[in-house]
Amino acid sequence: QVQLVESGGGLVQAGDSLRLSCAASGRTFSSYTMGWFRQAPGKEREFVAGISWRGTRTYFADSVKGRFTISRVNAKNTVYLQMNSLKPEDTAVYYCAADVDPIVVVTTLPDQYDYWGQGTQVTVSS
C-alpha cells in the first residue's frame, strides 16, 4: 500500500555532504513515524535517525548526532536526511522506512517499521 523510494546517494569524499530524499506514494504518511536505517556489508541493519509524524521530535544514533539532520514535508510525502561531515564509516546502503502504527513516538527497532524503500548507496572515500 505504501511505496518508498530513496534517492540522493552517491560517492563522496570524507567531509562532504549529501542529502537523501525518500518519497512516499500509495498512501498518506501524515501519521507515520519515519526512520532512516543503514546497512554496511556484513553488519546489522542500524538505526540512523527518526522523526515523529508531526516532525517535532527527532532522534539520532550517537554515531551521527551533530552531523546528520532529519526533516519531513508531509504535504509532499517526503522525508530527508541531511548528512554533513561524512566519514568513511558512514558508507552503507541507506534505507527509508515508515512505521504506520507507532507505539512510541520514534522506534529504533527495524521490525517495528512496516514499509521500506529499496535503498540508496552512500560511499565515503578517505
Q: CA neighbours within 13 Å on the CB side: how many for 19?
A: 9
Q: What is the pLDDT of residue 29?
A: 58
Q: What is the pLDDT of residue 15?
A: 98
Q: What is the pLDDT of residue 2?
A: 87
Please report, in tens digits, the pLDDT of each residue of the chain (126 residues total): 889 999 999 999 999 999 999 999 886 656 789 999 999 999 999 999 999 988 889 999 999 999 999 999 888 889 999 999 999 999 999 999 999 888 888 899 999 999 999 999 999 999
Instruction: Find, among 69, 37, 54, the residue nearest to 102 by Cα.
Output: 54
Q: CA neighbours within 13 Å on the CB side: how many for 87?
A: 8
Q: What radius of gyration do the chain's Cα atoms show?
A: 13
Measured from the Cβ of residue 107, the count of other Cβ atoms closer than 10 Å reads: 18
Q: What is the pLDDT of residue 28?
A: 65
Q: Which three cell numbers stand for residue 99?
A: 512505521
